[in-house]
Amino acid sequence: MAVMPSPPGSFKQSWLERCRQCSRCGLSAERQHVVISRGDPSAKVMVIGEAPGASEDIQGLPFVGRSGQLLDQLLRTVGFNPDSDLFICNVVKCRPPNNRKPSSAELRACRPWIEEQLAHVDPLVVVLVGATAVAAMLKRKQAMRSLRGVWIEQAGRLWMPVFHPAYLLRNPSREPGKPVAMTLEDLRQVRLRLCQCEPASGALFPCPPPP
């Protein structure tokens, strides 16, 4: 039987299969799916959240519930196509019961998967969605109010912390100065940074016209 070639940048089938079979922590007992990623593995921007919720567990894809729909809407507003411009995943790949925060043991058990995803995608910029992702990836435990919107250069990469969309759903005002508007500013910074890092990718990320 002919083997279909994988698209460029794809993860090896054997890696995906190992990840799908993972039983390194107790979350494997109750999951419906290991939620690995969506988007393009050769994207310049990687988006990392906390852990799958109920919709993600059912569909097997990250950020597809209410939070994810809001996140996509904000990403599209600043000019990203979430399917082709981004690689989206979580620090924990299986749903914690009742959407509780993942424990440190679960975060530790899942760590190799996100490290391997990061090394494989090798993005120019990483957007960290919410405090759990920031703490897990960068060991920083400040409040999101002080972390968000400020570039961090660490471990040879550029990171942008942003509010978690679940927080934005609880604070839905679109007024200037409110969390939704702040998040749009932060995502715009990401987009602008890409134009500066990669002027050659102008066709993919056209710089917004000067004001």
Per CB under 6 A, residues contacting ligand URA are: 49-53, 56, 62-63, 65, 67-68, 90, 129
Give the shortest CB-165-to-ligand URA separation in angstroms.
7
CA distances, 142 to each of 56, 96, 163, 168 (Å): 27, 23, 13, 18
Give the shortest CB-66-to-ligand URA separation in angstroms.
9
Instruction: Closer to ligand URA by CB, 41 or 52: give it.
Output: 52
* Cα 152 to Cα 159: distance, rounded to the nearest angstrom: 5
Instruction: Closer to ligand URA by CB, 63 or 159: give it.
Output: 63
Instruction: Closer to ligand URA by CB, 65 or 205: give it.
Output: 65
Which H helix or E strand runs over 120? helix 104-121
Residue 64: CB partners within 8 Å, gap ≥ 6?
38, 55, 56
According to DSSP, the residues that pair with 87 across neighbouring strands are 39, 46
Give the shortest CB-97-to-ligand URA separation in angstroms.
15
In the complex, residue closest to ligand URA by CB: 49
Instruction: Closer to ligand URA by CB, 94 or 190: give it.
Output: 94
For residue 35, give both structure tokens: 């939620």
